[in-house]
Amino acid sequence: MVRVLYDGRLAVDIAGIKMKTPVTTASGTFGFGLEFQDFLDLEQVGAATVKGTTLEPRSGNKGQRAVETPSGMLNSVGLENPGADYFLKCTLPDLQKLDVPVIVNIAGSTAEEYGLLAKKLDVEGVDAVEINISCPNVRHGGIAFGTCPLSAAEVVRAVKANTSKPVITKLSPNVTDIVEMALSVEEAGTDALSLINTLVGMKIDIERRSPVLGNVIGGLSGPAVRPIAVRMVYQVAQRVKVPIIGMGGIMNADDAIEFFLAGASAIAVGTANFVDPRLAETISGGILKYLDRHGYRNIQEIIGLALPR
Ligand SMILES: Cc1cc2nc3c(=O)[nH]c(=O)nc-3n(C[C@H](O)[C@H](O)[C@H](O)COP(=O)(O)O)c2cc1C
């Protein structure tokens, strides 16, 4: 049973995922959600999108994994996670006790691996899978699935064939044409899109004269990327029919509103969780205040309002 919050004014249905508020958490910035329970009430979040999960446990990248940048951060965690079996046995039972949909972010290095993982996670308690396609495709020289429309579509088809859950595909912004990517995964059957993942960047320590991150390059996130994310949501929303979860640098309700106006039906709080671990709960109140201030009855009324008519 999904308890309704805010008189249902913020409720959204993202490809069958019933969310009390359109605010979810960006994968990798919110652990498995349970770690944040000392700070917020997880049941007040629209959905808990958990950290990137792989078939086997991964220890992640060596060396420094994160560094602050102007208006953001770079990370190269390398998908450290305890693996799908551990998640199913030790984490999911605790998440299931809560009245909050669970979205599991999945990663792999071949399309088959994504398919196997989707099959394993096709269990009660998992409400949707989100495909992280920003991973290197080992069959194609390590070029990320998310930068090639055909490879991305192949992953989506492999996941769709192996799950009964709604499938969200998370787009990488590291492409020339984001609309082409969105159309390709929509055609392959994705039920929803989320965007954006991080932008590739790097930082050099000038005293050591070497890259700061152990992995040399990393993913840029935070407010610095927000205008790019808003632009991509705006472009994609004009061309696809599936719902969009917008993310990238959202720090407060005003930032979130930009994404709704650009065509997103839900949003995710990412890097901001490191600054204010309560934000994924408190931001809903700010969205409601905006609706009140402008005389809108519910969140549906503002989705896509800034799009060309
Ligand atoms: C430390 C860190 C870890 C992340 N891990 C993942 C991940 O495992 N899977 C994924 O799809 N995205 C991952 N991301 C990307 C975020 O979910 C999000 O798409 C991106 O950071 C943009 O949103 P933001 O600027 O609000 O953080 C990670 C981001 C950060 C900062």
Q: What mean pLDDT do residues 198-218 have?
A: 97
Q: Which of 281, 134, 283 is nearest to 220 (CA)?
A: 134
Calculate how far, in angstroms, residue 28's C-alpha sits from the geometric centre of ligand 1.
5
**pLDDT band for position 2 (cuts 50, 70, 90):** low
- Domains annotated for the chain, with CATH where assigned, are 6-302 (3.20.20.70)
Ligand 1 center–CA 18 separation, angstroms:
23
* Ligand 1 centre distance from Cα of residue 305 (Å): 27
Q: Dump pLDDT digits (tens) for 26-49.
A: 999 999 999 999 999 999 999 999
pLDDT, residue 88, reads: 98
The alpha carbon of 132 and the centre of ligand 1 are apart by a number of angstroms equal to 10
pLDDT(117) > 90: yes
Residue 110 CB burial class (10 angstroms; 0-12, 13-18, ≥19): middle
| Residue 212 scores a pLDDT above 70 | yes
279-302 tens-digit pLDDT: 999 999 999 999 999 999 999 999
Atom of ligand 1 nearest to the CA of 73: 31
Residues with CB under 6 A from ligand 1: 26-29, 51-52, 75, 77, 79, 105, 132, 170, 197-198, 221-222, 225, 247-250, 270-272
* pLDDT number for residue 1: 55
Nearest CA to ligand 1 atom 8: 52
pLDDT beyond 90 at 5: no
Taking only the tens place, the pLDDT of each residue in 69-81 is 999 999 999 999 9
C-beta neighbour count of 1 within 10 angstroms: 5
Q: Which of 135, 195, 245, 264 is catalytic?
A: 135
**In this structure, what token pair is assigned to residue 74?**
């770079």
Mean pLDDT confidence for 5-22: 95
pLDDT tens digits for 167-186?
999 999 999 999 999 999 99
Residue having the nearest C-alpha atom to atom 9 of ligand 1: 52
**What does pTM read for this prediction?**
0.98
**CB contact set of 73 (below 8 Å; sequence gap of 6+):** 66, 67, 220, 221, 222, 271, 274
Which protein residue has the closest C-alpha to ligand 1 atom 18? 197
pLDDT mean across residues, the chain: 96
Ligand 1 atom closest to the CA of 27, numbered from 1: 17
Beta-carbon contacts of 295 under 8 Å, excluding residues fewer than 6 positions away, are none
Is position 148 annotated as part of the catalytic site? no
Asked if pLDDT for residue 221 goes beyond 60, the answer is: yes
